[in-house]
Amino acid sequence: MTVSWILRCVECGAEHDGVELRYRCDCGGTLDVEHTFPHHLTRELFDARLGSPDALDRSGVWRFRELVLPLDREHIVTRGEGATWMYDAPSVARWTGLASLRLKHEGENPTGSFKDRGMTAGISMARRLGMTRVAVASTGNTSASAASYAAIAGMRAFVIIPDGQIAYGKLSQALAYGARTLQIRGDFDDAMRLVQEICDREGIYLLNSINPFRIEGQKGIGFEILQDLGWEPPDWIVLPGGNLGNNTAIAKAMEEALSLGLIDRLPRIAVIQAAGANPLYKAWHGDGTLVPVKADTIATAIKIGNPVSFTKSLTRVRRSNGVVEQVTDAEILEAKAHVDAAGIGAEPASCATVAGLRKLVAAGVIGADETVIGVLTGNVLKDPGVVVDYHRSDAPHANRPIPVDANYDAIKRALVR
């Protein structure tokens, strides 16, 4: 049976069948899904689905199914991912130097991160291919998401995580949803290398973002941002970069929306890396080649030294006339204090977005009056350890818990002090 997409190698351009079980070209390059879109794809079609009770229409991924992956309904495994809130965040805007700022909160996905958008597409493809076992290497959120979606699909999930470096909000989900969880004595980059080998040799379906269908699902963030804005593209979309799949996905969504006439210009993409895990930043400001680093940052979701989507990302960020910035852990924590205190809240990696924005506005790269959408990638509850440690410290925005005697007068005094 023929399908309406192919897999294209991003290095040599070779074409592979759309349902062939492979994650790389023979040349070693990663693969992009290339669709032949039908003709009737209009803003009105997607907007009409907003009021629909159909589960696929209510998902912020499958609402755009013709643009994401036109699978048969029986193959689609969804738990209502996406449809996340876009916050107007005036206090955060002021801190960054912007006149206004909107934050798209991907931490409001079913398992608390944008990974669910990629996972619903990846696991549906697994079902389409008849796979029964799936695996991921993960800094945490991918494992939480894969574990949940595999359980819902009735598949066995294997998770390989770096030992002792995973936030409890994430590890607890992988365990709770029943994934067989292997904590290796190594870092994420070791886990990534091993899971690829194990999947190849054992016939297990790989659900890391090297899987091109993960990227297709994550395009839903981009389409949903456009729909949230009445299809008026923003000047900038700003997001953190680790393995670099997500910025690739959003940039791809924008290019496809432009090619279909859903929008009339491309937003610029700004990718923010942690200074301790910054291979894209180095390549961007150097000669454009990937030199892996030994990753070190408090933002564990972007603690990746050898990003698998490097080539895809670099190509598309360039095409968007984008930029790459880096931020220190101290800058991430300060940004997080502002995002959290605004009542919005997000995990550390997400707040690299806001820290990077502040730098880019200060440097004059992003104008104070430009329209900016910042993507918050994960939920505040993912990493409670970082939050509690920060607020118990002497940090400038620490909101320390106050010990008080258990009587009325002591509490009244503490209220005003």
Ligand X SMILES: *Cc1c(COP(=O)(O)O)cnc(C)c1O
Q: Which stretch binds Zn ion (CB under 5 A): 27-35, 150-158, 260-268, 327-335?
A: 27-35
- Please state, as a whole number, how many other Cβ atoms lie within 10 Å of the Cβ of residue 340: 18
| Distance (Å) of CA 165 to CA 20, 186, 233, 385 | 35, 10, 38, 12
Q: Does 141 bind ligand X (CB under 6 A)?
A: yes
Q: Which stretch binds ligand X (CB under 6 A): 25-33, 35-43, 347-355, 356-364?
A: 347-355
**CA separation for the pair 305, 189 (Å, rounded):** 7
| Distance of closest approach, residue 13 Cβ to Zn ion, in angstroms | 7
Rounded to 5 degrees, what are φ and ψ at 230?
65, 30
The angle, 0 to 180 degrees and rounded to 10, between the axes of the packed helices 245-259 and 310-319 is 40
Question: Contact, 250 vs 269, CB < 8 A?
Answer: yes
Work out the end-to-end distance of the chain between its first and last CA atoms, rounded to an integer number of angstroms: 72
SS3 of 376, please? strand
Q: Does 27 bind Zn ion (CB under 5 A)?
A: yes
Exposed / middle / buried, residue 339 (Cβ in 10 Å: 0-12, 13-18, 19+): buried
| Distance of closest approach, residue 170 Cβ to ligand X, in angstroms | 8
Residue 138 touches which member of Zn ion, ligand X, none, C-beta under 5-8 Å by kind = none
Beta-bridged to residue 271, according to DSSP, are: 239, 324
Residue 340 touches which member of ligand X, Zn ion, none, C-beta under 5-8 Å by kind = none
| Distance of closest approach, residue 113 Cβ to ligand X, in angstroms | 4
Q: Does 97 bind Zn ion (CB under 5 A)?
A: no
Q: Which stretch binds ligand X (CB under 6 A): 60-68, 128-136, 346-354, 357-365?
A: 346-354
- Nearest Cα to 121, choosing from 218, 195, 229? 218
Per CB under 6 A, the list member of 115, 252, 268, 303 interacting with ligand X is 115
Residues 6+ apart with CB under 8 A from 4: 18, 35, 36, 37, 38, 70
Per CB under 6 A, the list member of 350, 356, 358, 380 interacting with ligand X is 350
Per CB under 6 A, the list member of 84, 162, 378, 390 interacting with ligand X is 378
AA letter at 171: L
Instruction: Give the residue with the Cβ less far from ligand X, 331 or 347.
Output: 347
Residues 161 to 220 in contact with ligand X, rule: CB under 6 A = 209
Residues 50 to 89 in contact with Zn ion, rule: CB under 5 A = none
If binding means CB under 6 A, how many residues of this protein chain bind ligand X?
18
Q: Does 135 bind ligand X (CB under 6 A)?
A: no
- Please state, as a whole number, how many other Cβ atoms lie within 10 Å of the Cβ of residue 97: 16
Instruction: Give the residue with the Cβ less far from ligand X, 59 or 306.
Output: 306
Q: Does 14 bind Zn ion (CB under 5 A)?
A: yes
Q: Does 15 bind Zn ion (CB under 5 A)?
A: no
Biggest CA-to-CA distance, the chain: 76
Q: Does 25 bind Zn ion (CB under 5 A)?
A: yes
Instruction: Give the residue with the Cβ less far from Zn ion, 29 or 367.
Output: 29
Q: In terms of residues, how long is the chain? A: 417
**CA separation for the pair 147, 182 (Å, rounded):** 13
Binding mask 213-252 for ligand X (x = CB under 6 A): ---------------------------xxxxxxx------
Q: Does 303 bind ligand X (CB under 6 A)?
A: no
Q: Does 273 bind ligand X (CB under 6 A)?
A: no
Q: Which stretch binds ligand X (CB under 6 A): 13-21, 250-258, 318-326, 345-353?
A: 345-353
Q: Does 20 bind Zn ion (CB under 5 A)?
A: no
Per CB under 6 A, the list member of 126, 161, 301, 332 interacting with ligand X is 301
- Nearest Cα to 145, choosing from 111, 104, 101? 111
Q: Does 297 bind ligand X (CB under 6 A)?
A: no
Q: Does 111 bind ligand X (CB under 6 A)?
A: no
If binding means CB under 5 A, how many residues of this protein chain bind Zn ion?
7
Residues 6+ apart with CB under 8 A from 319: 251, 255, 266
**CA separation for the pair 337, 334 (Å, rounded):** 5
Per CB under 5 A, the list member of 7, 9, 238, 301 interacting with Zn ion is 9
SS3 of 23, please? coil
- In the complex, the residues that contact ligand X under the rule CB under 6 A are 113, 115, 141, 209, 240-246, 301-302, 347, 349-350, 377-378
Residues that bind Zn ion (CB under 5 A): 9, 11-12, 14, 25, 27, 29
